[in-house]
Structures are given as structure tokens and as C-alpha cells.
Structure 1
Amino acid sequence: MKKVVATAKTIDDAIEKALKELNVPRSKVSVRVLEEPSKGLFGLIGSREAKVEVEYRFDPVEAAREFLTEVLRNMNVQARIDVHPQGEQVLFDIVGDNLGMIIGRRGQTLDALQYLVNVVGNRQKENHVRFVLDAENYRSRRKETLENLAERIARKAVQTRRSVRLEPMSAAERKVIHSYLQNRSDVVTFSEGEEPHRYVVVAPKEA
């Protein structure tokens, strides 16, 4: 948190002085009046200026949303960002037409933007906020695709009695595979390799 103590002839002038030093709008600060202005004796002797303490209130969701809005603008993408708090995480749903550029190959661009949004949104926050980005319902569609893949690979591993190695995936996508297959009694899953080429292995469970 950033705090500034400023003095001026009036409270409003003192606040304005502090806002200029912080370089933030009035809506993003809290103000505490430390001293009221006083004219003193005959308006001259013992006069006292107003003193205020202005504190910048960092809003992680607003900061993250503003950052993402600016990125989309620079990419010439016409879209809006719908914000959906979901427990300990916040979903930013990017709504617009032709958002393939935002999603990228297998969601790589979307994942990269999500990473940057999390960095910006949590740069001044003690309690971590997890931001999730989605566009054109990509996350749920990709999850369904990965679960179908996991099912096919598990069957193959059981039928051939051989381990099957999947292609490299992000940590989030590997988690979908592990979670989907964790309750099966006939296969086990584990990850191998080094990032960013880490992959899931599905192996038949020994009798």
C-alpha cells in the first residue's frame, strides 16, 4: 500500500496534492483527515494548514482487468471482459467474435495471457487471487477433449498391457488427465520430462 501525507490551505487542495503525487484517481484512494485547517488569530497568527493522509487501495481484480483490456486493445481485438468471481478464483470470460487469435494453438496464447494477468493482479496483494481466462468456452471444450483422450489412452494401455506416453502438455492439462483417471483401478498415471516438455504417462496397473 502507498500512503502520502499532504498539506494545503484546504482539505480538497491537500487531497489533490496527494493524488498528483500518487498519480491515481480519487476513486482508488482512501482519505483520512489528520488536521483541519485553521485561520488562527486575526486570520494571521497561528494559522494552520489542512493535513490529510491519502492511501492507495490496490484492487487486484480491477488491476488485472485493466491490464487485460489494454492488451486486447493493443492486439486490435474487439471484445468485452465479463468478470465472474468463483470462490477463491476469478474467471475473466472474454466475449467477442473470432477469438481464435486470443486462444492460440491448443490454448497457448490464452494460457500466456492468463499467466500475465495473474502476475499483474497479484503484484501488491498478500492474499493470492487466482485468475482464470476463458474465451468461446474454450476451457470446458478442451477439458472434454482431454477427458475423452484420457479414456481412449487408458483403454489402450489396458488392452496392450503397455505404458502409453502422451504428448507434452501444460501443468493444467496434465492435471485434467490425472484427475480423470485417478479413480480407475486398472491404470496409474504419472508425469515425466522437464518443462515445457513434461508429459503424462498412462500405465496398466500390475495385478
Structure 2
Amino acid sequence: MNEKKGIFGFLSNWSEKDNDTSTISTENPIDAISPVETIETTEKPPVITDEIEAFALEKAQELLKLAQFQGTISPRYKKGYTLCMEINDAGDDLGRIIGKNGSCLQAIQILIKFFVIRKFEISLRIVVDAGDYKNRHQSQMKRMALKAADEVITSGNNIKLDPMNAVDRRTIHVLFENHNDIVTQSEGEGNERHIVLMKRDETK
């Protein structure tokens, strides 16, 4: 039985099946596209057609197959620029599909976004979840931040949270934006960028 290489192990062999596309060649799939894509659009948000949705789901399923992961892809919802899908029946592969801190899910999202942009010239927000990881992760992260905030209020000392990606940092900033006693500030660069919790009166 072949050893499972994960989502990054097969990328050098990945190629599009469409006749009008060429093989992806990039040493770092995360850098294949910019996190913020700007594409000219009309005033009305584009409708995610059945064709776009089917294409994205097909590519997600192909990625799982090429990575030798169990699982089937099903749509969760589509609204405006957002297309959300879910990986089901992952079995023992669930942890590897999610990856450390959701890194594998993030890679799948970026690759699907890239494929959709290249074929349809439209930039969508692609959300891929598995095992309800994202809801569980958000809840755990908020509990951790609120516990740290209690320590800041009690001790008066600032607390530096662990490094987070941009989405998670925004979640924490929003969590405390109307808090009476706590303010948040992002510090650091790159993978070390993190949030510092501070007492509100110390920032005046």
C-alpha cells in the first residue's frame, strides 16, 4: 500500500485535466496566488453558478484522491462570493486532512480558489471544512482568549497570545472590540504575528 503523502506531497505531480489548462508549477502552493485577489466586477455580486460550484467540488474531490485521503465532498452553502463545502466520511484521515492548525484545509481552499480564478476569471472565498473543525476551532480559540483576558484584568499585565493567521486574529479583534476592559493589538511579522491583550485604561 502506498504511503500517504498528504496534501503537499503530490503537488509536483498535479496537473489539470482540462484541455485548455497547463500543469501547475510552483514550489510553494500557498504562494501560488495572493491572499487578496482583485478582479474587476460589476456592481452586483456574481452569482455562483451550478457550473462553478460543480467545478470547485470536482477539484476538491480530485485533491483528496491525489493525496490518497478518504472522504467525499459535499456543498454546504453558497452566498455572494462565498462557496462553502464540507469533507465527509474521512475516517482515520480526518486529522491529516485538517492538518496542524487547519493548515491542510487552508491549502485545499487556496488551490481550489486558484483553479476557479484560472478557469472562470472570478475570485471567490472558498471555505472547506471537515469534522466541524472550524466551529470547534473558533470556540476553543475564543475560550482561550477570554481566559487570558480575565488574567489581564486581574493582574494588570499584558498577555501575548500564540501566533495566529489573519482570519483567527480578526476573530479575536472582533471578540474584544466592544469590551469594557480589554483592547487588542497585533504585533510581530509573518508566521510570528500575534495578538497582545491589554487593559483598556493602560492605552489611554
User: What TM-score, normalized by structure 2, do the two folds share?
Assistant: 0.69
Match of 1:90 in 2: 83
Does 1:73 pair with 2:58? no
Pairing of 1:1-207 with structure 2 (within 5 A): 23=19, 59-88=51-80, 89-96=82-89, 97-98=91-92, 99-206=94-201
How far the C-alpha of 1:59 sits from its partner, in A, is 4.0
Question: Tell me, what secondary structure is at the counterpart of 2:180?
Answer: coil
Q: Flag the structure with higher strand content.
A: 1
Aligned residues: percent identity? Answer: 29
CA–CA separation in structure 2 for the residues paired with 1:190 and 1:168: 12
Tell me how large the CA RMSD over aligned residues is: 2.2
CA–CA separation in structure 1 for the residues paired with 2:75 and 2:110: 17
Equivalent position amino acid for 1:131 in 2: I
Question: Tell me, what secondary structure is at the counterpart of 1:203?
Answer: strand
Equivalent position amino acid for 2:106 in 1: D
CA–CA separation in structure 2 for the residues paired with 1:192 and 1:144: 23
Equivalent position amino acid for 1:84 in 2: R
Distance 1:171 1:73, change over 3 A: same
Q: Flag the structure with higher helix content.
A: 2
Q: Which structure's relative contact order is higher, taking Cα pairs within 8 Å and 6+ residues apart? A: 2
List alignment gaps of at least 5 residues for structure 2.
Answer: 1-17, 21-48
Match of 1:40 in 2: none
Equivalent position amino acid for 1:91 in 2: C
List alignment gaps of at least 5 residues for structure 1.
Answer: 1-21, 25-56
How far the C-alpha of 1:23 sits from its partner, in A, is 4.0
User: What TM-score, normalized by structure 1, do the two folds share?
Assistant: 0.68
How far the C-alpha of 1:125 sits from its partner, in A, is 4.0
Deviation track 1:125-163 (CA, whole Å, cap 9, x = no partner) reads 454321101000000000000110111111111111121
Whether the 8 Å CA contact 1:61–1:121 is kept in 2: the answer is: no
